[in-house]
Structure 1
Amino acid sequence: MNISYSQPLADEQATCRFGAQLVNLIYPFTHEHGVVIYLNGELGAGKTTLSRGMIQGLGYQGNVKSPTYTLVETYHVAERDIYHFDLYRLNDPEELEFMGIRDYFSAQAICLIEWAEKGEGVLNSADLFVNIDYDNDTRRIELSANSTLGAEIITQLQQHPITL
């Protein structure tokens, strides 16, 4: 699948706004099935910031923190479960089996997964790959489809570009 979308992000606020608009574009697709998003980028690139924007974009009012030490944080908002995973400290993908990882990938769930490569072989496939890279003093975000659902989401994004 070779469909993608790319956009610069000027700062942390732009990253949060992008996340909020993106999740509202994704939300209608979650009425029938869950969405799995792999978040890629170096440490400090903005993966958790994007996740915070997405979670708060659906109306969550509380603190959104990195699940670096807990592996997963759960949010129930807008009649959806959002699971934010950070697998940076994962030593072995089998640890995910012990925590019941498969239960998280349910219909109507949105799974945001940082450092997904550490769970290779155990995690569900991504619908979208989100790459955040440094671009001098700013960031660039690129979304790539990895499923028919991912392609549908990016098509919607291309038809309704995110304005920051």
Structure 2
Amino acid sequence: MIDTSTHTLPGNTRHRELVDEVATTALGRQFAGALQGGGLVVYLHGDLGAGKTSFARALLGALNVGERIKSPTYSLVEGYEAQGRPAWHLDLYRIADPGELEWLGLDALADPAALVLVEWPERGRGALPAADMVIDMAYAGAGRQATLRPLTARGRQVLARLG
């Protein structure tokens, strides 16, 4: 069963109930459609297993990156080309200090045309570009929930297109 119910919260924040992984995948695909050609930095927060990687894989898959979408749990960062623009997926779970990110060459993340998805962004504080959107994913009974909070005009545009 796919539940894509949306609740609008104060400040243009949206809340989505995700009853299963199919619903999380659907949200990732819908989010990809809402990007409409611009870059975006998205911080993905949530406990282990809350759906961050499933969301990111669905989003990247919907952008037709044309290759196997790997989890960056061990590599820390995976790069793709998505519709002629760079796309980056970072998983900073294994980072103990933001200074450890210096050797990764994160300068490419500053490209305004790039899509940047960051799991565990709090572990890279100060070394990452500022977020346009924050997505908080959490357990909710047998399912999950996602709260989408735009932080910039670009983030608000994507959220408005997402509906």
Scaled by the length of structure 2, what TM-score is found? Answer: 0.88
Whole-Å Cα distance in 2 between the matches of residues 15 and 61 of structure 1? 21
Q: Which runs of 5+ in 1 are unaligned?
A: 159-164
Whole-Å Cα distance in 1 between the matches of residues 82 and 149 of structure 2? 26
Match of 2:26 among 5, 8, 17: 17
Whole-Å Cα distance in 1 between the matches of residues 46 and 96 of structure 2? 19
**Which has the higher relative contact order, 1 or 2, with Cα contacts under 8 A spaced 6 or more apart?**
1
Q: In the alignment, what sits opposite 2:159?
A: 154
Match of 2:141 among 136, 140, 162: 136
Q: In the alignment, what sits opposite 1:162?
A: none
Q: Please report how far the alpha carbon of residue 57 of structure 1 lies from its aligned counterpart in structure 2 after TM superposition.
A: 0.5
Give the percent of matched residue pairs that are identical in Structure 1 and Structure 2.
Answer: 36
Match of 2:85 among 80, 89, 93: 80
Tell whether 2:73 aligns with 1:68: yes
Post-superposition CA distance 1:22-48 (Å, at most 9, x none)? 1111133x1xxx210000110001100
Q: Which runs of 5+ in 2 are unaligned?
A: 1-9
Q: In the alignment, what sits opposite 2:60?
A: 55
Whole-Å Cα distance in 1 between the matches of residues 17 and 97 of structure 2? 34
Tell whether 2:85 aligns with 1:116: no
Instruction: Let me know the Cα RMSD of the aligned residues.
Output: 1.5
Preserved contact between residue 130 and residue 143 of structure 1 (Cα < 8 Å): yes
Q: In the alignment, what sits opposite 2:45?
A: 40
Preserved contact between residue 30 and residue 162 of structure 2 (Cα < 8 Å): no
Whole-Å Cα distance in 2 between the matches of residues 135 and 56 of structure 1? 25
Amino acid aligned to 2:97: D
Amino acid aligned to 1:19: G
Whole-Å Cα distance in 2 between the matches of residues 53 and 110 of structure 1? 14
SS in structure 1 at match of 2:158: helix
Preserved contact between residue 36 and residue 128 of structure 1 (Cα < 8 Å): yes
Whole-Å Cα distance in 2 between the matches of residues 114 and 102 of structure 1? 18
Amino acid aligned to 1:91: A
Preserved contact between residue 105 and residue 111 of structure 1 (Cα < 8 Å): no
Give the aligned length: 154
Scaled by the length of structure 1, what TM-score is found? Answer: 0.88
